């Protein structure tokens, strides 16, 4: 039985939170609209097609919800960088430079 | 020792509401992208101090004659710096009648309200962090203590324009106000200079660029960045929508995550950070205290007594006096 349920409106990063408290368990569902990010990354992949690695290459876009979770979980900058890049490899539709995946 | 028969112990309790509060509170790191990335440490008094030190300049001509006697090198003392703790606070009150009428899920709702208030305090802390001008203020019997933000603590590699300046810390704390300068456009040259300054002064590579949404748009238009990107057009898929994502850049010098910060809208400053060297120091964490009854209601005070501690200002930079 649900003791308490509230749906928060999206925050400044477009992340909405659904909090459901059942007894002593909290079930939190975070949602965000990834469609603009997916479209943005897809267009960038096409624009970057055939280009070579250069200094400061834009390789991907990571939703703030995922970045914040990684930053909150891993407390070393090096580990965070590793996790961010791993996340992008696991989510190739948000990669903006195909060569990054190879 | 024997536990008395039928003693109602903590382990017997069903449903610890403070744990529930923690669970609710801990599920929103995205509200505070910087606080989430910084380390946590414990402060033991209302003025939190730490020390910085640096090696002397490297010298290729350092040598001695075989068998020569020595004169002792002059030693440079460590620099002791600190910040004043700041009591962020909020209250939640529920009337007796509301407590009686709404029985279902009441404990959960109260935990949620407290969690929400704690989240608001977290955002207040985040606002202190990104403030380009907030100075530290020592607490007195009539003045609330205040933590200085990033703006006054990034003293090693500030990039100002015109008469703008970030004063050195006074009496070990960042209490002196920033000197106003003349605004100019955010450019890639400024960002490159900031990253180089960090490397020169600390040997570190920049990890995170934190900017206002407007400066994020400018960053995306930087020449060497733009050639690797598509043009961001207006409308539904405009940059304002892309604020929900952080861009990841890779170069020979490592990765840089570009974080648009909603609390920096209208800011004249961009921060280039290495979060390994920045902590939030808490005196006693987030604390909830039931207040004494003064009327027909229950009241709770929530506090977070903390300050920002930039452990190594040389590993950070700020680009300020930017046109918002």
Nearest Cβ partner of A14 from B244, B246, B257? Answer: B244
Q: What is the pLDDT of residue B4?
A: 63
Is B309 within 8 Å of B38 (Cβ atoms)? Answer: no
Q: What is the distance between the alpha carbons of residues B50 and B311, in angstroms, rounded to a whole number?
A: 7
- In terms of CA atoms, which chain B residue is nearest residue A64? B245
- In terms of CA atoms, which chain A residue is nearest residue B204? A77
Rounded mean pLDDT, A44-61 = 82
Chain A residues with beta carbon closer than 8 angstroms to that of B112: 4, 6, 19, 21
Per-residue pLDDT band at A58 (split at 50, 70, 90): confident
Torsion of CA B86, B213, A17, A87, to 10 degrees: -100
What is residue A19's three-state secondary structure?
strand
What is residue B138's three-state secondary structure?
coil
Q: What is the pLDDT of residue B129?
A: 98
Q: Do B112 and A64 touch (CB under 8 A)?
A: no
- Cβ within 8 Å of residue B230, ≥6 positions away: A40, A43, A44, A46, A47
Per-residue pLDDT band at A1 (split at 50, 70, 90): very low
Q: What is the pLDDT of residue B11?
A: 52
- In terms of CA atoms, which chain B residue is nearest residue A58? B249
Chain B residues with beta carbon closer than 8 angstroms to that of A81: 207, 254-255
Q: What is the pLDDT of residue B28?
A: 74
Alpha carbons within 13 A on the beta-carbon side of B139:
17
- Chain A segment 22-81 residues within 8 A of B by beta carbon are 23-24, 26, 28, 30, 32-33, 36-37, 39-40, 43-44, 46-48, 51, 54-65, 67-69, 71-72, 75-77, 80-81
ipTM exceeds 0.90: no
A79: closest CA of chain B, how far (Å) = 11
Chain B residues with beta carbon closer than 8 angstroms to that of A96: 228-229
Q: Do A67 and B246 touch (CB under 8 A)?
A: yes
Q: What is the distance between the alpha carbons of residues B302 and B286, in angstroms, rounded to a whole number?
A: 7
What is residue B156's three-state secondary structure?
coil
Residue A68 tokens, joined: 């914040």
Alpha carbons within 13 A on the beta-carbon side of B300:
17
Averaged pLDDT of chain A: 86
Interface test with B, best of A1, A4, A53 (most B CBs within 10 A): A4
Confidence (pTM): 0.87
Per-residue pLDDT band at A83 (split at 50, 70, 90): very high
In sequence order, the β-bridge partners of residue B170 are: B173
- In terms of CA atoms, which chain A residue is nearest residue B279? A75
* H/E run at residue A73: helix A64-73
B220: closest CA of chain A, how far (Å) = 10
Chain B residues with beta carbon closer than 8 angstroms to that of A30: 27, 30
Average pLDDT for consecutive 10-residue bins of chain B (324 residues)? 61 57 74 91 95 87 94 90 96 83 72 88 96 96 96 96 92 93 94 91 90 90 59 43 74 81 95 95 93 90 96 95 96
Q: What is the pLDDT of residue B226?
A: 57
Q: Do A72 and B37 touch (CB under 8 A)?
A: yes
Nearest Cβ partner of B112 from A6, A64, A80? Answer: A6
Count Cβ neighbours within 10 Å for each residue of B266-285 and write b for 16 or more, e otherwise: ebbbbbbbbbbbbbbbbbee
| Apex B195 CA angle, B192 and B198, nearest 5 | 150
Q: What is the distance between the alpha carbons of residues B158 and B160, in angstroms, rounded to a whole number?
A: 6
Inform me whether the C-beta atom of residue B102 falls under 8 Å from chain A C-beta atoms: no
- Helices A64-73 and A77-90 meet at what angle, rounded to 10? 140
Write the DSSP string, A3-55: SEEEEPPP-TTSEEEEEEEETTEEEEEEEE--HHHHHHHHHHHHHHTTPPP-T
């Amino acid at each position: 039985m649900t003791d308490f349920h509230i749906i928060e409106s999206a925050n400044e990063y477009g992340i909405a939170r659904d909090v459901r408290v059942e007894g002593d368990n909290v079930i939190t569902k975070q949602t965000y609209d990834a469609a603009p990010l997916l479209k943005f990354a897809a267009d960038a992949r096409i624009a970057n097609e055939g280009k070579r690695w250069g200094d400061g290459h834009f390789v991907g876009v990571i939703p703030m919800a995922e970045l914040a979770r990684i930053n909150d979980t891993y407390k070393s900058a090096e580990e965070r960088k590793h996790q961010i890049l791993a996340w992008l490899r696991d989510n190739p539709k948000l990669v903006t430079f195909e060569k990054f995946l190879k | 020792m024997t536990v008395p028969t039928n003693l109602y112990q903590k382990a017997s309790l069903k449903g610890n509401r403070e744990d529930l509060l923690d669970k609710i509170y801990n599920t929103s790191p995205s509200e505070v992208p910087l606080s989430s990335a910084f380390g946590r440490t414990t402060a033991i008094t209302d003025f939190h101090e730490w020390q910085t030190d640096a090696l002397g300049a490297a010298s290729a001509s350092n040598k001695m004659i075989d068998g020569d006697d020595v004169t002792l090198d002059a030693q440079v003392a460590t620099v002791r710096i600190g910040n004043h703790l700041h009591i962020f606070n909020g209250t939640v009150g529920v009337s007796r009648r509301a407590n009686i009428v709404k029985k279902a899920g009441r404990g959960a709702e109260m935990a949620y309200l407290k969690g929400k208030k704690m989240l608001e305090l977290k955002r207040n802390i985040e606002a202190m962090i990104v403030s380009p001008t907030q100075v530290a203020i020592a607490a007195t019997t009539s003045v609330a203590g205040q933590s200085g933000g990033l703006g006054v603590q990034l003293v090693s590699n500030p990039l100002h324009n015109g008469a703008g300046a970030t004063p050195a810390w006074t009496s070990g704390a960042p209490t002196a106000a920033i000197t106003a300068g003349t605004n100019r456009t955010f450019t890639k040259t400024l960002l490159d200079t900031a990253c180089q300054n960090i490397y020169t002064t600390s040997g570190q590579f920049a990890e995170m660029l934190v900017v206002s949404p407007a400066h994020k748009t400018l960053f995306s238009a930087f020449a060497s960045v733009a050639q690797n990107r598509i043009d961001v057009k207006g409308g539904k898929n405009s940059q304002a929508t892309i604020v929900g994502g952080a861009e990841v850049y890779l170069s020979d010098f490592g990765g840089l995550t570009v974080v648009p910060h909603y609390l920096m809208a209208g800011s004249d400053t961009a921060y280039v950070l290495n979060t390994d060297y920045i902590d939030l120091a808490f005196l006693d964490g987030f604390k909830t205290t039931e207040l004494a009854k003064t009327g027909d209601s229950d009241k709770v005070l929530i506090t977070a007594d903390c300050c920002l501690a930039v452990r190594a200002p040389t590993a950070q930079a700020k680009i300020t006096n930017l046109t918002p």
